[in-house]
Structure 1
Amino acid sequence: MSVIKTEKLTKYYGKARGIIDVDLDVKEGEIFGFIGPNGAGKSTTIRTLLNFIYPTKGKAEIFGLDCTKAPKEIRKNIGYLPSEVNYYDDMKVKELLDYSAKFYEGNYNDRIKDLSNTLELDLNKEIDELSFGNKKKVAIVQALLHSPKLLILDEPTGGLDPLMQNRFFELLREENKNGTTIFFSSHILSEVQKMCDRVAIIKEGKILKVEDIEGLTKNTFKTIKIELDKKEDINLDLKGIINKERNNRTTKFLYNGDIKELLYRLSEIDKLQNLFIEEPSLEEVFMHYYEKEEK
């Protein structure tokens, strides 16, 4: 079942580009990554899905419901964590979360306490006393308190220290185990690689690639690092060598060609001292697709 589905989703701000012909299909139960630098169209896509802004053309559905025709029904089962959070300063954290809980049926007092304890959030603090990181914790509790079927995260870790980021990721994995589908939008590629099953790469409002994380990093490329016993460039005239870099005695590149041919050619180099063949990081693959698109 598709939880999020878009077809040719497009948004222009006057003549300015927002997103263009975005096609997404996020399946129930997956953690789906949405990556691109700032200004690529990630937040515009999310705001269109949430019906905060209207599309110029195209179609978006959540739970099989049209995002522009049934936004109230859709929002009952969504948790949303924006990249930046702003609150009324004259409220306590507990008051704000109790108010948020009233938008949903049921009693969420225990859930709020459990989430706040996990995130080390003081419920008795005034909002204006909170740091940016603690305000982000409030937003996390808001997004999770009603155990949503779909969690939409827009640059979710901003303001969280590394320890709290790991705790937050543990929370997300637990929610996912319990059936929550997660749409994880970020420009921090290591986070996406750590959390997600599949990923869509977006640039200048257009989707460049949708692929399994494993497919992006394992099936297509290898990271090759060669060390010589003296400072010298290597002339390897092979198809599949991408993003070649040389630093003193070390040459590094991505490779998606015939590995046997590469090893044969390397065996002929007398000055070869060390050879490393590794799975590339998502960041290396991501930069390849961006550079390929620019060319």
Structure 2
Amino acid sequence: MKLQRLALVLAGVGLLASTATTTASATSTASAARGSAAAATENCGSSVVWPTKANVVDTVDIGAHKPPRLVYPPYVYSKFFATRFMDRWYLAWNAAGTQYYAFGLFLLGSNLYRQTTVLSGRSPAQSTAVRVGTGWASFTSIATSNYPLKGSRPAYLYGLNSNGNLYRYAPNGTGYKSAGSFAGFKGFKTMTMISEEMTYDTLLMTTKAGALYTIHIPTTTKAKPVVRLIRKSGWAAYESLVVNKCGVNGATIITAVDHDTDTGYQYGFSKFNGTATATMSYGKIPATFNGTNHAALTGFQFLLLAE
């Protein structure tokens, strides 16, 4: 991955000033702060990363626009692993700013792995993985909250299980320990994180029947999730949901991917408020999403705030 493309990704999620380059300014999130679904058009973007059946990772940069526009077309990112589900890739860099890398979690077989991919402007990216958990065969989807303020709250890992439970885990050394479970998710299909605050996390989830819900989960140990319907139907075809935010209080951009047709569609959402949530369909993305699953490529300091 060329470093200039990495800079564009970081600019798109608010880690670099929007005036840094002409290209980066095209993904500025400033005018999206009004919070409407339409406000994101042409003012922010998203990067989607996916592992293919050939065990390489591809990625594409998309501008929020009606119809969606490719900022950069799909390109090979690195050799990778035969994952069956992958969570967000978090971009980071060393203190000298000379080495960039991405990290995240994925499921492979019955195991949970943490991957690190070192990026270079002169040679292909290199990915390595370490097993951090076993017993994950019955989990169909994972999502992480990323709250990097040390000592404030755990950066939870959530796992959707085929038994109908949603499990929560907290970091424990190099692995994870149980932090509770929630029943009532038997009919749900896939999920992604849309908000990570000091006192709660919020997941966006679809059901097998095609409904779309938010799952608001307080960070206190015994608190129960608040489940709110967003749409009754229309989401059954999508196996992957990829989220990007346009500023702190701006629109949420969702890339929804249909694995049966290798197609992706872009949507803009206002602040999530049950069935009153405003939604705009930007349309089909002009790219082939030939992955086994799809995730966001985003900066590790970029929080998903204000659901």
The TM-score bracket by the shorter chain reads: under 0.3
The structure with the largest alpha-carbon Rg is: 1
The structure with more helix, counted as a fraction of residues = 1
TM-score, normalisation: structure 2: 0.26
- Point out the structure with the larger strand share: 2
Q: TM-score, normalised by structure 1?
A: 0.27
